Structure 1
Amino acid sequence: MPIELPPPIAAYVAANARLDLDGMLKPFAHDAVFIDNGKRFAGEAAIRQLFEDEVMPVKAIFAPDTVRDEEGDVIVEGPAHGDFPGSPLRFTYRFTLVNGTIKTLETTV
């Protein structure tokens, strides 16, 4: 049974499943911050570069299987698979949504 995700998160996950770089960026606020295992990427250009360098080459696709609200953030967990060592790895994504956009996304393994 598919899980219900807020629209910007659902759009991000769907675009990631297609490896659609522009679609993955679209739900983010222009001044969004992406924290990837402690490394901080601020703004659209930095997040685009992260996706170009880390997601697209290894075809990393996140497949969420749980979602919950925690202190106003949306926590989404599930495996990511692709052409990288240890695939699939289980990730936790912490989304902060503001005005229908992703303001902050923090990922941890």
Structure 2
Amino acid sequence: MQDHHPRDIAPDALPETITRYLKAHHARDTATAVAAFTGDATVVDDGRTYEGTAAIERWLNRSAGEFTYTIELTGAQRTGTTHYVATHHLEGDFPGGTVDLRYQFTLRDDLVARLVIEP
């Protein structure tokens, strides 16, 4: 359950599962990134929904090669008992060239059950 008073936290205070996923994703280490998700996890990115680890693995592999970009973790929030937001600034060769994205995580059993990525 989300609470109505998000709390800013230090980016290094994000749960280990989220940190492990983000580092693996940035390093294009798909196997480690996928291992951070529950078997029935859902990812919503760019208006598309990916359900289950096989679909998430295909999404990670596709997104890793689609554009070249730099990514910087610029902020973090705890928005509920199992809900966190990691804000990233991206610059690259994608349409628009720069964007700030909110990675909204829902955890279950110390794994990512849901990830929604949106501006």
TM range (shorter): 0.7 to 0.9
In the other structure, the counterpart of 2:48 is 39
Determine if contact 1:19/1:59 at 8 Å carries over to the other structure: no
**What's the TM-score once normalised by structure 1's chain length?**
0.85
The aligned amino acid for 2:80 is E
In the other structure, the counterpart of 2:66 is 57
Q: Secondary structure at the match of 1:84?
A: coil
Question: Which is greater in Rg?
Answer: 2
Percent identical: 24
Determine if contact 2:25/2:60 at 8 Å carries over to the other structure: no
Determine if contact 1:16/1:61 at 8 Å carries over to the other structure: no
1:27 aligns with 2:36: yes
**What's the TM-score once normalised by structure 2's chain length?**
0.79
Q: Which has the higher strand share?
A: 2
Structure 1 unaligned spans of 5+: none
- Paired residue for 1:77, among 87, 90, 100? 87
Aligned-pair distance for 1:82? 4.0
Structure 2 unaligned spans of 5+: 1-9
RMSD: 2.0
1:13 aligns with 2:11: no
Q: 1:30 to 1:61 in 2, by over 3 A?
A: farther
